[in-house]
Amino acid sequence: MYAHEMSLDEHLEMLDVLASHPGPAVISGYDNAFYDKHLRGWKKVRVKPPKVEKQADRMEVLWAKARA
């Protein structure tokens, strides 16, 4: 795992800042409803990664917006 995991409040703060940012933005992560809810209108690209982490079978996602 990571040395520091973000709290739900930290995720929400980051998403709010990026959503209000006037320029383009890209976020990568695992497919989840929380990000989907807060990033409505962003382009969502699903990427099936190779199984490297304990044979994990998760879908990675890029959420992208061109402009605010």
Q: What pTM was estimated for this model as a whole? A: 0.78
Of 29, 25, 27, 15, nearest to 65 (Cα)? 25
Top pLDDT among 54 and 27 is at 27
Question: Looking at residue 42, what is its pLDDT?
Answer: 95
d(CA 17, CA 54): 33
Residue 15 clears pLDDT 80, i.e. is over it: yes
Question: Looking at residue 1, what is its pLDDT?
Answer: 59
The pLDDT tens digits of the residues spanning 25-40 come to 999 998 999 999 999 9
Handedness of CA 62, 45, 35, 55 (dihedral sign): negative
